[in-house]
Amino acid sequence: MKKFLILLLTAYSLQLTAPAMVFAQAATLSLEPSSGTFNQGCNFSLKVNLNTGGAETDGTDAILLYDNTRFNAISITNGPIYPDFPGNNIDSQAGKITISGLASVNTPFSSQGALATINFAVLNSAPQGATQVTFDFDPTNKAKTTDSNVVQRVTIADVLNSVTNGNYTVGTGVCKSGGSPLVTATPSATPKTIDCAVDKTCQGPGTPQLTFTIAIVGGILTVLGILGLALL
């Protein structure tokens, strides 16, 4: 029994020290639709889809960037794949959207589905022409925690392999609903100012590091549960 526990702890230790080498998976994030024309003064929605590539995940951070001279992000509607979204945020001044979904301690997510839906309005003064909504994602730096990431259960590895950005066109004309927009395209509220003297990280709540921190706790609780069963 002692030998079994030692082997189990050794395996878990190796997973923590070399997460990128254990159970490598290829998760993806994409926007739906990935292209289209949206007219001035009209509303539209983009779905953020996650495919874990078979990996069991503790959480996902999707960080998106958009042109705030063309679009106004109105709201974020949580998808069904994770039970908690503690880090959702719209920064209208920076043109940045953060979506942070977390799995429950006992139930990782290991399939594909909608992480969230972002509801936009095209500004009445939006310049016509091509624009993008893109994921903040650095495929060359898996240790980076401030970009988009998908956290694998137990290993705490970032298994996000690729993203599909959106390419759109701002046009003129009537809205697709056939009339006036559903919501007036007014600027979003100014994000809450962070007091860096109080918050030493100078980042505030809902940062991408939150997913990794809770993922670590979840991984430890999972191992403790396995050890408990082994001792029975």
pLDDT tens-place string over residues 157-209: 999 999 999 999 999 999 976 444 444 444 444 444 444 444 444 455 455 56
Sign (positive or negative) of CA dihedral 73, 75, 81, 83: positive
3-state secondary structure at position 71: strand
Q: Indicate whether 5 pLDDT > 60.
A: no
pLDDT tens-place string over residues 122-159: 999 999 999 999 999 999 998 898 999 999 999 989 99
Q: Walk me through the domains of the chain, giving residue ranges and CATH numbers.
A: 2-231 (2.60.40.680)
Counted residue by residue, the chain has a size of: 232
Rg, Å, the chain Cα set = 20
Place 25 in a pLDDT band, splitting at 50, 70 and 90: confident
3-state secondary structure at position 222: helix
Predicted confidence at residue 177, as pLDDT, reads 62
The sheet carrying 43-51 orders its strands as 71-78, 112-122, 43-51, 27-32, 160-164
One-letter amino acid identity for 176? Answer: K
Predicted confidence at residue 212, as pLDDT, reads 59
Q: What is the pTM of this model?
A: 0.71
Predicted confidence at residue 19, as pLDDT, reads 42
- Tell how strand 160-164 and strand 149-152 pair up: unpaired
**How many CB atoms are located within 10 Å of the residue 106 CB?**
9
Taking the C-alpha atoms of residue 44 and residue 67, their distance in angstroms, rounded to an integer, is 15
One-letter amino acid identity for 6? Answer: I
Q: What is the mean pLDDT of residues 208-214?
A: 59
Average pLDDT, the chain: 79
Residues 6+ apart with CB under 8 A from 171: 37, 38, 39, 40, 128
